[in-house]
Amino acid sequence: MSLGDARLTASIENRMAVAEQIRAAKPRAVILPYWEGRHPDHYTAAILGYEACYAAGLKQLPIKGEPHRPKKILYSAMYAEVRPSFCVDITPFFQKKLEAIHAFASQFGGDMSQITELYPAWGRLLDQITTQCKYFGHTIGVEYAEPFVVKELLAIDDVVTMPVASI
């Protein structure tokens, strides 16, 4: 499903299209971009994704699939200037994350020198991501971590068994 680069809108049509995908996939959790940002597609995707998650659970909505609403919506906080609600240890998957980022280079024909000429920040991107993931990892006592934000409060069953020590 393609909704267009730099033309994404939180239209009713796009909401219904994404809601159909949510019904088909039936995710328990959805990760969206942080709701504020530099690229309009990113913050629009956060709004569109949230609205589609809600709409997918409506029984009377005239779209394909059985009603399904994800239990949890998480917002990626990697590029947002916000304090994360929590971080997830991604140490075992960090190299896979870098491979996924390298896959983005294929959109430019695979020649990294041309990419860095067009987008100078791309040359520093992998270093920036590594540094950020390392920083967030160190905050929770692991090698690499990914930060997330949630809008609602988190419930904790037992504060003593929480994995990160306060002191």
- Taking the model in full, what pTM does it have? 0.85
pLDDT at 39 > cutoff 60: yes
pLDDT at 4 > cutoff 90: no
**Residue 160 contacts residue 132 (beta carbons within 8 Å):** no
- The domain segmentation of the chain, as residue ranges, is 1-76, 82-153+162-167
47-86 pLDDT, tens per residue? 999 999 999 999 999 999 999 999 999 999 988 899 999 9
The average confidence (pLDDT) of the chain is 89
* Cα separations in angstroms, 165 against 41, 93, 156, 159: 38, 24, 15, 10
Per-residue model confidence (pLDDT) at position 121: 65
pLDDT at 142 > cutoff 80: yes
CA 101-107-108 angle, 5° bins: 105
Dist CA 9 CA 32 (whole Å) = 15
Sign, CA dihedral 76-145-30-166, equals negative
Per-residue model confidence (pLDDT) at position 157: 93
110-128 pLDDT, tens per residue? 555 555 665 656 667 788 8
